[in-house]
Structure 1
Amino acid sequence: MKTDAVTADTLRDLRTTRPYPVVTLSMPTHRREPDNAQDGVRLRNSSATLRSASDPKISRAHRTALLQQLQRAATDLTLHLSDDALHGLVVFVSTAEYQVWHLHRQVPYRVVLSDTYVTRNLVAAKAQAHPYWVLAIAADRATLWHGSGGTLREHEGDGFPSTSQGLDWDVQHKERVGDQDSVFSGQDTRQFLRTVDTSLAAVLAADPCPLFLLGLPEAVTMFQEVGTTPAPDGVALKGGLRWCPRARCPGRSRPDTCRRSSPRVRRGRGGARRRSQPQAIRRGPGRSLGGG
């Protein structure tokens, strides 16, 4: 797993008290072959620390179960080196499970035995990665993407991806020949976007991060009209992104290519109030993506 999967619920679960001991192991890793081949070996050799721990509170059966889970974690790491290798690794091990977390930051080599998992490296990596959400919206489909560091992955679940069931799929042809009004004037579209808004609100409540909207002007405008989600951190008025292939989406929907969704109010001549045009969001020194 990677830090874009870290939520408040995840941290709450990891910090739950468990039968002593559970193992938190952190270690730096290598991103390139052939050096990354040693990462699985180093993790497997870490079992020596647990095996030599002279703590009378650890029964033989408990120790054996922990060692087995640690060996499974090392095997899993070896099998997925090329897919997930990053700068650091945190492994959580109990007698019943193991979790392998890949981090975008270096971590020291350390093994901690306690009655709860140590999460500070996850929290620091999450903050450093500047996570954000991207909602690609259209009249008939909405997809949600989670960005973190240099990656952008589709969020599947919690009502996403969402597809309208009531929209006529030949609507564009009917609009061209004058047989039908725009899809953005229909109640089916408004109800669909309300449903998307409800699903999005639940996701943001569980994992609050900066939000960016992608879509045609009509879709974005109606979504903001019918929804109750707070104003996004940025908007990109682009079409064709609702299916968003994984290989292409990251380059086309970076937050620094979006525009601010809340125009500032300026004073014109004679003290009249006027709204300024949205300005492109750019990354500055020490600022997170999207200003979050």
Structure 2
Amino acid sequence: MTVEDLAKLTPSGYPAVSLLMPTHRTAPDNQQDPIRLRNLLAETRRRLELDETVPHEVAAEVYDEIAAAADRVDLRHTGEGLALFASPGQVHVRMLESPVQERVVIADTYEVRDVVADAARRHRYWALVLSEQPTRLWSGDGPDLVEVTSHGFPFTHEGPGGLLGLPRDYGQEPSKHERERHRQFFRDIATALGAIDKLDSRPVFVLGVERYLSHFAEAWQRPIAGTVTGNYDHAGAHDVYQLLAPRLAAYTAMEQVAALEALDAARGANRFAAGLPEVWSLAHQGRGAHLLVEEGYHSPAWVHEDHLHPPNQEPHTETAGVLLDDAVDDIVEWVARQGGDVTFVGDDSLAADGRIALIVRY
């Protein structure tokens, strides 16, 4: 799912259960994770059964869905957090690279703020490993890669010059025929990748020998985020990520520079906002075109009558305020929900802007 998809994740109906818990990457800390998950599932069951507005059979169905999803999670290989969402006939699982506050929420909507912010901090991309036997496409989400098996992938070169070998008829030039078959093979790959990228546009990284990279670049005719030269026919998900890690870091740095330059242009045109209260207000109005946030910036805040107040200034009025545990993540969710872009930049990059800034639509 894209960041915007996560922000707009909608339950099928009531009850919408959100289960979030921190996890641990290594032993011995990760030995407590199965116990904590069982306790949260027990809390989920208890609260569903106590909710008088939920028919017994619906409560049982939703609990069974979220419990079954939890059983499929391999807690030996996790990041910093786990999110499970379930409603009647629907369940979603998300492994997180950012820590979350442990909680179970039963409401009309899913508690997606932490998940959206985590997804915005991560970098989704396509990793294309070029080969005749075969070309494979990986869907990358941070360090996690999953092979794509649709739209013809993986592609195997089965025609002349591939599995069938080259024709040897008199008067025919094998090298010329081979070049044309190769070009067609890579045109087919580019067409298939284009169809996938149209559904979910991401930066494209390509791995392969020089000849294959040249053929694909000729067929793709769009910017390639980065390349790795070499033969990686048998590379697995972990190998592909390790090869791409330096290119991903370089691409991220380039994105941050571009975002800061866009902010400078918006500042000159008076189309920007800075500081937590003003950015929060404009984001909730749907005016956020591009949000920039320092990587390490988190801040609780009070919300009262559509205004944001610092965490040490609790409003004392007849109408109670609501304490947000992280107003930054709340802003990220709202901007993403409205189709805006989110870029996390290095700490101190926005020191003059209160560590957060927004390019507005109008």
CA–CA distance in 2 between the matches of 1:9 and 1:112? 21
Deviation per residue, 1:217-240 (Å, 9 max, x gap): 332222222335x2111223x231
Alpha-carbon deviations, 1:176-230, whole Å to 9, x = none?
xx973167622x22222121111111222222222112223332222222335x2
CA distance in 2: counterparts of 1:246 and 1:106, whole angstroms: 24
**Aligned pairs, how many?**
247
Q: What's the CA shift string for 1:11-54, capped at 9, x where partnerless?
A: 48x72342211201111112223432332322222232552465
Mapping of residues 90-169 of structure 1, within 5 Å: 90-138=83-131, 141-169=134-162
Supply the AA of the counterpart residue of 2:121. Answer: Q
Measured in 1, the distance between the counterparts of 2:160 and 2:248 equals 31
Could you tell me how far 1:166 is from its partner in structure 2? 0.7
- Which of 239, 251, 254 is matched with 2:230 structurally? 239
C-alpha contact 1:26 1:108 (8 A) present in aligned 2: yes
Counterpart-to-counterpart distance in 2, 1:129 and 1:34: 26
User: Which AA in structure 2 matches 1:253?
Assistant: L
Q: Distance in 2 between matches of 1:21 and 1:32?
A: 34
Aligned pairs for 1:5-84 (under 5 A) are 6-7=1-2, 11=6, 15-46=9-40, 47-52=42-47, 54-77=50-73, 80-82=74-76, 84=77
For 2:16 and 2:249, the matched residues in 1 are separated by 44
**Partners of 1:257 and 1:59 in 2: CA distance:** 49
CA distance in 1, matches of 2:61, 2:37: 16
2:275 corresponds in structure 1 to none
Shift of 1:146: 3.0
Deviation of the 1:258 alpha carbon: 10
Q: Report the equivalent of 2:245.
A: 254
Structure 1 residue matching 2:105: 3-state secondary structure: strand
SS in 2 for 1:18: coil
Residue from 215, 226, 234 that aligns with 2:219 = 226
TM-score if structure 2 supplies the norm length?
Answer: 0.58
| 3-state SS, counterpart of residue 108 of structure 1 | coil
Measure the CA separation in 2 of the matches of 1:138 and 1:30.
37
| Structure 2: distance between partners of 1:91 and 1:25 | 5
Whether 1:207 aligns to 2:200 is yes
CA distance in 2, matches of 1:183, 1:140: 19
Q: Using the TM superposition, give the Cα deviation of residue 76 of structure 1 relative to its aligned residue in structure 2, in angstroms.
A: 3.2
Identity of aligned residues (%): 31
Letter in structure 2 aligned against 1:75: D
Structure 2: which 5+ residue stretches go unaligned? Answer: 252-344, 348-362
CA contact (8 A) 1:143 1:243 kept: no
Query: In structure 2, what residue type is equivalent to 1:33?
Result: A
CA contact (8 A) 2:123 2:142 kept: yes
**Amino acid in structure 2 at the alignment position of 1:122:** V
What secondary structure does 1:214 align onto? strand
Q: Quick check: 1:8–1:207 contact (8 Å CA) kept in 2? A: no
1:192 matched to which residue of 2? 185
* Paired residue secondary structure (1:254): helix
Separation (CA, whole Å) in 2 of partners of 1:24 and 1:112: 5
Q: What value does the CA root-mean-square deviation take over the aligned residues?
A: 3.3
Letter in 1 for 2:52: P
Residues 137-174 of structure 1, C-alpha deviation per residue, up to 9 Å, x if partnerless?
245642112333334443333322111221334869x9
Change over 3 Å in CA distance of 1:119–1:140 after alignment to 2: same
Please, which of 346, 349, 353 is the counterpart of residue 286 of structure 1? 346
Q: What's the secondary structure of 1:31's corresponding residue?
A: coil
1:93/1:213 CA distance change after superposition, 3 Å: same
Whole-Å Cα distance in 1 between the matches of residues 165 and 246 of structure 2?
Answer: 31
